[in-house]
Amino acid sequence: MPPTALLAPGGGKLEWRGNDLDGNFRAVGSRGGSGLDVKGTAVGTLPVFVEERFGREGLELWLNTLNEYARKAFSKPILQASWFPIQSMFVEPTGALCDLFYNGKIRGAYEIGRFSAEVGLRGVYKVFLKIGSTRTIIEKATLILPTYYRPSSIEVVEMQDRRAVISITEFPEPNELVEERIRGWMERALEISGARSPIIKIEQSMARGAPTSDFVITWN
């Protein structure tokens, strides 16, 4: 079967490569402009999370609320190494998840973040958690997170005994749903690494007009 393509919102292209072992949807080419892309590693956990938490019926209900681009993309396995437009493949599907299963509350984004850490950090990124103190793990987390979003910049701006501040300084399309997912991911990552009772609060948010998004981390 020859390749077929679907235009993504903003002009990106979604390519489907037949029905063979590579028959997966993937984003190709550039969308142009200064938008933000999210890696397939993060995108692919969304339908897995929905089905695991809310069953097959919940998954079908969720899929039916999505834009055409996302619905067609999620009909096939997501290639982890591919990049996708964050709004149509990440923000809108997460918003739909929150509306359907969390009464419109952004708690759903936090929960998918925790789930993503469970999947990713026990898999391809587990090497980051093998050795080191909580302080070291926090520093390593700033190396992992930019691999999920491009372009983005994340850095440790404060490190004290049992307290740290991580700041997102570059993120072209800030959104509270994404920030909540990052908060959930970091919190669960710290728990997996052995940190005791980590708590993360978003002190200021680019999505609410601040120059940076600052995550204040405390632990016992």
Clarify whether residues 57 and 138 are in a common domain: no
Tell me, yes or no, whether 63 lies in a domain.
Answer: yes
Quick check: helix, strand or coil at residue 150? strand
The CA-atom distances, in angstroms, between 80 and each of 25, 98, 117, 197 are: 10, 23, 15, 31
Q: How many domains does the chain have?
A: 2
CATH number for the domain spanning 190: value is 3.30.70
Tell me, yes or no, whether 168 lies in a domain.
Answer: yes
Clarify whether residues 65 and 153 are in a common domain: no
Clarify whether residues 138 and 61 are in a common domain: no
For residues 114 and 24, give the distance between their C-alpha atoms in angstroms, rounded to a whole number.
Answer: 26
Taking the whole predicted model, whether its pTM rises above 0.85 is answered as no
Q: Which amino acid is at 26?
A: R
Clarify whether residues 15 and 92 are in a common domain: yes
Q: How many CA atoms lie within 13 A of 30 on its CB side?
A: 6
Cα angle value 142/144/146 (rounded, 5°): 75
Cα angle value 112/194/51 (rounded, 5°): 20
Q: Give the CA diameter of the chain.
A: 59
Clarify whether residues 13 and 79 are in a common domain: yes
Write down the mean pLDDT value for the chain: 83
The percent of residues in the chain predicted with pLDDT above 70, rounded, is 80
The CA-atom distances, in angstroms, between 205 and each of 24, 152, 212 are: 35, 15, 6
Backbone dihedral angles phi then psi of residue 144, each to the nearest 5 degrees: -75, -45
The pLDDT score that the predictor gives to residue 33 is 43
Residue 81 CB burial class (10 angstroms; 0-12, 13-18, ≥19): exposed
Instruction: Tell me if the bond preceding 146 is cis, omega within 30° of 0.
Output: no
Tell me, yes or no, whether 113 lies in a domain.
Answer: no
The pLDDT score that the predictor gives to residue 173 is 92
Tell me, yes or no, whether 112 lies in a domain.
Answer: no
Please compute the mean of the pLDDT values over residues 5-14 and round it to a whole number: 42
Clarify whether residues 98 and 185 are in a common domain: no
Tell me, yes or no, whether 83 lies in a domain.
Answer: yes
Tell me, yes or no, whether 127 lies in a domain.
Answer: no
- In the predicted structure, residue 124 carries a pLDDT above the cut 80: no
The pLDDT score that the predictor gives to residue 143 is 86
Clarify whether residues 157 and 93 are in a common domain: no
Clarify whether residues 20 and 90 are in a common domain: yes
Beta-sheet strands, E only, within the chain: 4-7, 13-16, 25-28, 37-39, 83-85, 149-150, 153-160, 163-170, 199-204, 213-218
Q: How many CA atoms lie within 13 A of 203 on its CB side?
A: 13
The pLDDT score that the predictor gives to residue 86 is 95
Which range marks the domain in which residue 61 is found? 4-105
The pLDDT score that the predictor gives to residue 35 is 84
For residues 96 and 104, give the distance between their C-alpha atoms in angstroms, rounded to a whole number.
Answer: 8
Please compute the mean of the pLDDT values over residues 45-68 and round it to a whole number: 96
Clarify whether residues 93 and 142 are in a common domain: no
